[in-house]
Structure 1
Amino acid sequence: MSKFKRSLAGLAGAAALLLALSACTVNSVDNSSDKTDKGSSSSSDSDEVKVPSIAKDGGLEVGTGLNEIDVWVDYQCSHCRDFEESNGDYLTTLVETDNATVRIHPLYFLDRGAVDGSSFRAGNALACVADQSPDVMLEYSAKLFAADKWSDQIFVELADDLDVSGVDSCIEDLTFGPWLTESMKDAMEGDSLPATTEIERVQSTPTVVVNGAVYKGDPKSNSAFVSFFEANQKN
């Protein structure tokens, strides 16, 4: 067993405990629409941790704005999908107008730490696309939430829709899997947690932090998040 797989096995128990505290628990997921293609079972046995080119503090960073926004998501999490549907365009606008730097932290609570789970593979696909084409990272993240089903082929097709090619092997081989594992471990244990002193570790998804302040409002509300951002933005 590789070091990568052993580390994932160790995370499984911790992830199960964390799920009980998460805004998105296993019981909240609609298991009738499984997004995983069970035929896609490729895994990485490499001990090398390859880091995406735009990785910072365990997230994928886009933008150069003064305001810093960190968003921890699990792509199976319905509350995370709600936040994306309500506020994804707003985050994109903040980045495009140089008002914010946004970091997306892909986690996989709902996989129970599994190496081949849905959220794990989705997070790796996001990292593959972001590594090659940072400018479309937020749009690709939105596409992951909007997709009716998932498979490695669908991840590639979603990238093709954004004119991103050449990510097939990165997606299929879980190239950034070890990085995802380290990032999730850091988030769960609070090791060098960026952006805030309000929380010691990430215990739910979505967890959204604006300039150190943790958003506790309704993930479905754009007006609530806009008000929160404006109240905490830097001048």
Structure 2
Amino acid sequence: MSSRKGRKDAARVVREQLAQERRRKRTLWVSVAAVFVLVIAGFTGWAVFSEQRSDEFTPPPGADDTGTGIVFGSGPVTIDLYEDYLCPACKQFQEVSGETIDQLADEGKARVVFHPVAYLNRFSTTEYSTRASAATGCASAGGKFREFSEALFVQQPPENGAQLSNDQLIDIGAAAGLDRDTFGTCVRDGTYLSWTEHVTEQASRSEITGTPTILVNGEQVNNWSPESIRAAVEAAG
């Protein structure tokens, strides 16, 4: 009798263990499924957020159809310039070839699209790259983009610091011929901060990895000399 009872007890224990194992597996699969759903939802949410973020911007007057740059000139060849106002190499490029770029636009040989990206905020305690870029949107709205942009490079502050304040940017704009009140309000309100984010994000998606980057009809020009840029424009035209 005791032997039979022992076998029954052992069988009952085995059944309980099997039932526990089935419950454990069901709980595990439910947890895995829940995590999977959350991961998918997270990726979906990030994709939606990124798409909305890149779409929610106000382009300034003078921007191209994509809202990624300020246009001047209307020639048959397109020059895309990607520059950061905190970039020392960009200042050097402007000193060497900026006048040539302006001449090509003024001569009707090139349509210049200037993309003021904000790549170098890591070298600023005040996100100067972003603020300077946004301020150029205000300058474009006031019809003085080129004058203000040139002045920013002339008065470029060093990396690793606070750089120029908004009040100093406004002073530079006023000296470039912009209405102090209108331009100042635009800068202080951050009217074109979302536009700067869009310009920078789209440049990154286009695999623009450094500044300055110069494209002539989509082809990168690695030699920044005036002669090389003119030759590239003439060859593309």
**TM-score computed with the length of structure 2 as normaliser:** 0.67
The Cα shift of 1:82 comes to 1.0
Q: Which has the higher helix share?
A: 2
Q: Which residue of 1 aligns with 2:137?
A: 127
Shift of residue 86 of structure 1?
0.8
Aligned residue pairs total 176
Note the residue ranges of structure 2 that are not aligned, 5 or more in a row. Answer: 1-45, 158-163
CA contact (8 A) 2:85 2:156 kept: no
Provide the C-alpha distance between the structure 2 equivalents of 1:78 and 1:231, rounded to a whole number of angstroms. Answer: 29
**Counterpart in 2 of 1:96?**
106
Residue 229 (structure 2) aligned to one of 225, 228, 232:
225
**After TM superposition, what 4+ stretches of structure 1 lie above 4 angstroms from structure 2?**
113-116
Report the equivalent of 1:203.
209
Deviations 1:179-202 (A, max 9, x none): 111221111122xxxxxxxxxx11
Task: Say which of 152, 171, 184 aligns to 1:144.
Answer: 152
131, 148, 158: which one pairs with 2:172? 158
Q: Tell me if 1:185 matches 2:189.
A: no
Q: Matched residues, percent identical?
A: 27
Stretches of structure 1 lacking an aligned partner (at least 5 in a row): 1-6, 12-46, 191-200
What is the CA deviation profile of residues 153-201 of structure 1, one whole-angstrom value per residue up to 9, with x for unaligned ones?
Answer: 22212222222112101111211001111221111122xxxxxxxxxx1
RMSD: 2.5
Scaled by the length of structure 1, the TM-score of the pair is 0.68
Report the CA distance shift for 1:148/1:105 in structure 2 as closer, same or farther (over 3 A): closer
- State the match for 2:221 in structure 1: 215
Query: Residues 59, 89 of structure 1: CA spacing in aligned structure 2 closer, same or farther, 3 A cutoff?
Result: same
TM-superposed CA distance for 1:54, in Å, is 1.4
CA distance 1:54–1:212, shift in 2 (3 Å)? same
Q: Distance in 2 between matches of 1:113 and 1:180?
A: 17
Please identify the structure whose Cα radius of gyration is greater.
2
In the alignment, the residues of structure 2 paired with residue 154 and residue 71 of structure 1 have an alpha-carbon distance, to the nearest angstrom, of 25
